[in-house]
């Protein structure tokens, strides 16, 4: 009889822990779901330098080739900058900003 009571008590503890764990998971999921708008907004605001460069280039209706010729680099260099595999030098960044009609500071403000 004493062993049955102990086993029953241990069973209650285990079930209590399982229920507490499920409640914690449910709370975490609800918090995550409620922050969806915030996460989407942050993703829209945060850009890589390459994404910002591509956005300005397409806004100005320029091709990578035109940008490359205008600042004196290869088209592949412009492609690498937009893909994020490399970054433009400071002088090229200033030339890009001038070409796109924005300040270098404004160009970098968009970057994450």
Helices and strands in the chain: count of H runs, count of E runs: 7, 0
pLDDT of the residue at 32: 85
Q: Determine the Cα–Cα distance for residues 110 and 93; give it in Å rounded to an integer.
A: 14
Report the percent of the chain where pLDDT is more than 90: 62
Q: Output DSSP code: residue 97.
A: H
Three-class DSSP category at 48: coil
Q: Determine the Cα–Cα distance for residues 17 and 35; give it in Å rounded to an integer.
A: 27
Q: What is the pLDDT of residues 43-57, one digit of tens each?
A: 655 578 899 999 999
What is the pTM assigned to this prediction? 0.59
Look up tokens 């091709």; give the residue: 63
Q: What is the pLDDT of residues 6-17, one digit of tens each?
A: 888 888 999 999
Q: Determine the Cα–Cα distance for residues 107 and 54; give it in Å rounded to an integer.
A: 11
Q: Determine the Cα–Cα distance for residues 75 and 68; give it in Å rounded to an integer.
A: 5
Are 78 and 68 in contact by the 8 Å Cβ rule? The answer is: yes
Closest CA to 83 of 60, 64, 103, 105: 64
């Amino acid at each position: 009889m004493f062993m049955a009571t102990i086993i029953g008590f241990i069973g209650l503890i285990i079930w209590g822990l399982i229920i507490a764990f499920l409640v914690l998971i449910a709370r975490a999921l609800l918090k995550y779901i409620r922050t969806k708008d915030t996460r989407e907004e942050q993703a829209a605001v945060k850009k890589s330098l390459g994404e910002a460069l591509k956005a300005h280039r397409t806004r100005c209706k320029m091709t990578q080739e035109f940008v490359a010729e205008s600042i004196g680099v290869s088209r592949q260099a412009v492609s690498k900058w937009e893909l994020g595999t490399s970054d433009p030098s400071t002088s090229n960044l200033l030339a890009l900003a001038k070409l796109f009609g924005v300040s270098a500071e404004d160009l970098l403000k968009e970057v994450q």
